[in-house]
Amino acid sequence: MIDPTKITNYNRTEAELEEFLMFAILVAGKTAKTQAQKLENFLNPMMSTMGLTPFGVLEQMIKTASLGTQMKFARLGQYKRIETAFRQILTFKGDLKKVSVQDLESVKGIGSKTARFFILHSRKDARHAVLDVHILKWLREQGYSAPKQTPTKKKYAVLEAIFLTEAWKHEMTPADLDLMIWKSFSQKTLA
């Protein structure tokens, strides 16, 4: 199961990358802990009884025409967007260690933030920024003009460059700075 507090892992197996990509799609705009549990509930029955990988589960559900039903049973939400994305990511089977941001963004239902989230927390030398509400708020607190919601591609690139510079200034990897910010805002929310 995905642990949202320990999201960065540069040594994931292909099956773990499959699960992490599915989590990245599910978590967009949602609570990480809740979505991690929902994904576990969605995948685990078939993974444990049939010995399938996460993408194997998707392929089996598509083959038996039960993907939509199983998604609703697990209460994944945003059914049309997620089902479309789940079907399309199967084209990356076996290539998740090499898939690019552009490849991921070609999937309907995966945007700039989701693509970068997957790569940033899966590859040691990734130089990307996941511009979620926490990062944008942190950038505003640092004195930058950042919107409250994820920006469009052009503005995204500008803010991504600023975030990467800030990571360098703090002598942190982008993934470590991202996680530090996420944890600090999560603790404030829980307090």
- For the segment 55-83, what is each residue's pLDDT rounded down to a tens digit? 999 999 999 999 999 999 999 999 999 99
pLDDT band at 48 (very low <50, low <70, confident <90, very high): confident
Quick one: DSSP state of residue 171?
A: T
Amino acid at 105: E
Domains of the chain: 1-125 (1.10.340.30), 127-191 (1.10.1670.10)
Q: What are phi and psi of 93, to 5 degrees?
A: -55, 125
Q: Tally Cβ neighbours within 10 Å of residue 103.
A: 17
